Amino acid sequence: MRVAMYYNNHDVRLEEQEIPKIGPGEVLIKIISSGICGSDVMEWYRIKKAPLVLGHEIAGDIVEVGEGVSDFKVGDRVTATHHVPCGRCEYCQRGQHSLCTLISNTKYYPGGFAEYVRVPSINVETRGVLKLPDSVSYDEGSFTEPLGCVVRGLRVMGIEPARSLLVLGSGLSGQLVIRAAKAYGVGKIIATDLNDWRLQMAQRSGAEVTVNAGKEDVIERVLAETNGEGVDYVIPTAGAPVLFDQAMQTVRKGGTVLMYGIMTPGTKVEFDIFPFWKKQVKLVSTYAAAPRDLAEALELIRAGRVPVADMITHRLPLEETQKGFELVASGGDSMKVIIEPQR
């Protein structure tokens, strides 16, 4: 089979591998749609493991099932997550699934940018494989994992209807945050970015106010839009220290800041601790998605409460995966890039 082997963001090669052989409890998925995630192009994180096959936003058909698999059959249309929690440890019992040791030590093989993927039995057993409803396309199904991460983040921050939200960064994660927040009944949403094209999409996603951070002072504009009070919830969706500063200065008294975007290890962020203490701000973080989050995300897509298909800007064959990586890494006028291995 063909795979897109990652060496760096500008060197992704089409190579050949054997189709994975599955064992008891496992399934083999023929990949139809595989989305490129922003984390796929974080070279500081990926390059130390290169060469490898990336891709964890997948949808496709089950073409083989291992001994003992009873919940799935050949021909089932599915999506699958690469990371799964055990469901039994202390963290899982507390609902803190993404702190489970297992979640960082599970994956499927070789990765979503390949014609076929072997899903280990633990992923199958722990609801890491979900059947796609007939009304959900493969492309839409590939959004289940990234939307699941957003669903979990909003739950962690305890988001409530009719409150205000500031989304710092209007890339794919920012757009999903806006759309999911709207589905959950959040009130006024303000979105920022440096790219006017992304801000226009943020408006279509449901943001009432958009701010180009390269042309306006974000803090001044947000405070002006909220009568000097600030917003109830702030979510920096990109890993830039300046966004953290903006978040801390725009969150209102008693508000919550969710650290969603990933900063490079070793990044130090300074902020004035006094107003943070005085305003009694809650600072929380999130990582990955658990089975409950994925199921909820897929239902949001199925019900049309979070539309996703209109965010797809590029569909590329497997041999053009490098072009896809460069599109995502550039942060230009692209939103979601889908790789189609069977094309």
Residue 151 lies in a domain: no
pTM (2 d.p.): 0.96
Cβ-count burial 201-236 (b if 16+ within 10 Å, e if not): bbeebbbebbbebeeeebbebbbebbeeebbbbbbb
Q: What is the CATH number of the domain that holds 276?
A: 3.40.50.720
Q: Which residue has the tokens 């959900």?
A: 136
- Whether 23 and 58 map to the same domain: the answer is yes
User: Quick check: 177 and 206 in contact, CB under 8 A?
Assistant: no
Give me the tens of pLDDT residue by residue for the chain, a chain 343 residues long. Answer: 999 999 999 999 999 999 999 999 999 999 999 999 999 998 888 988 999 999 999 999 999 999 999 999 999 999 999 999 999 999 999 999 999 999 989 999 999 999 999 999 999 999 999 999 999 999 999 999 999 999 999 999 999 999 999 999 999 999 999 999 999 999 999 999 999 999 999 999 999 999 999 999 999 999 999 999 999 999 999 988 999 999 999 999 999 999 999 888 899 888 888 888 999 999 999 999 999 999 999 999 999 999 999 999 999 999 999 999 999 998 888 999 999 999 9
User: Quick check: 185 and 164 in contact, CB under 8 A?
Assistant: no
User: Quick check: 56 and 82 in contact, CB under 8 A?
Assistant: yes
Residue 122 lies in a domain: yes
- Whether 234 and 303 map to the same domain: the answer is no
C-alpha dist (Å) from residue 123 to 63, 108, 243, 252, 294 = 17, 8, 35, 41, 13
- H-type helices in 126-164, by residue range? 138-141, 144-156
User: Quick check: 264 and 242 in contact, CB under 8 A?
Assistant: no
pLDDT at 239: 86
User: Quick check: 111 and 54 in contact, CB under 8 A?
Assistant: yes
DSSP for 98-118, please give it.
Answer: GG-GGGGS---BS-SSBSEEE
- Whether 80 and 9 map to the same domain: the answer is yes
How is residue 52 annotated by DSSP? B
User: Which residues constitute the domain of residue 122?
Assistant: 2-144+289-340
- Whether 163 and 130 map to the same domain: the answer is no
Q: What angle do CA 299, 305, 310 make, to 5 degrees?
A: 105
- The radius of gyration of the chain from alpha carbons, rounded to an integer in Å, stands at 20
Count up the domains in the chain and report the number: 2
Residue 152 lies in a domain: no
Tokens of 117: 């993927």
Indicate the burial class of 188 (C-beta count within 10 angstroms; 0-12, 13-18, 19 or more): middle
How is residue 263 annotated by DSSP? P
pLDDT at 333: 87
Residue 58 lies in a domain: yes
- Whether 129 and 217 map to the same domain: the answer is no
- Whether 276 and 293 map to the same domain: the answer is no
Q: What is the CATH number of the domain that holds 333?
A: 3.90.180.10
Tokens of 119: 């899903």
SS3 (DSSP) at 163: coil
SS3 (DSSP) at 245: helix
pLDDT at 45: 83
- Whether 169 and 247 map to the same domain: the answer is yes
Q: Which residue has the tokens 């003992």?
A: 68
Residue 335 lies in a domain: yes
Last-in-domain residue among 255, 270, 285? 285
